[in-house]
Amino acid sequence: MEYMIDGIEYILDLIETSKAMQKIDAHIPRYAFPGCETQIFKSRSYWECFVRQLVGSPDSAMSSCRMGDGSENSKTTSVIDPQFRVLGVQGLRVIDSSSMPWVATANQAAITIMMGEVGSKLILDKWGKLDMVERQKNASTIVI
């Protein structure tokens, strides 16, 4: 937090003292950021509030619903099995990036789409032989 506030104050100083910024009449408008109205504008407490209100992760939530390998050991550290089934809950699967065991360094969108394809195939392989009428009739009793 301190480094972020130091960075904000450094940029403010550049804006307020640099000849280039003065030449274009650059300034920070006095604006009470929502949630920080009680703080004194440009104070460290104001910038701390600003950062806490504004900062978030640009990334998707990943690996929060960890997939295990199905072994007894992984059942204590994972939420879903390799077929995306939630452990201990019948009829529920999690098929998205939250089920990755670790954050991948490749394009997460492509991996998540692939996981959706694999998950849908697993479900179709299990239930694809049922006709639509039978699926609707048994919708409340089907266990995936």
- Per-residue confidence in pLDDT tens, the chain, 144 aa: 899 999 999 999 999 999 998 899 888 888 888 899 999 999 999 999 999 888 776 666 677 888 887 777 777 788 888 899 998 898 899 998 888 877 777 788 888 899 999 998 888 888 776 555 566 666 655 454
What pLDDT score does 129 carry?
62
pLDDT confidence of residue 134: 64
**pLDDT computed for residue 77 by the predictor:** 81
80 SS3 class = strand
Closest CA to 119 of 142, 96, 86: 96
Residue 76 has a pLDDT of: 78
As given in the structure block, the two tokens for residue 64 are 């929060």
End-to-end Cα separation, the chain, in angstroms: 46
So what's the pLDDT on residue 72? 76
Q: What are phi and psi for residue 70, nearest 5 degrees?
A: 90, -10
Q: How high is the pLDDT of residue 68? A: 82
DSSP state of 60: P
> Are 34 and 46 in contact, with CB atoms under 8 Å apart?
no
Q: What is residue 92's DSSP assignment? A: -
C-alpha distance from residue 39 to each of 7, 13, 32, 49, 104 (Å): 19, 20, 8, 8, 40
The tokens of 89 are what?
């809950």
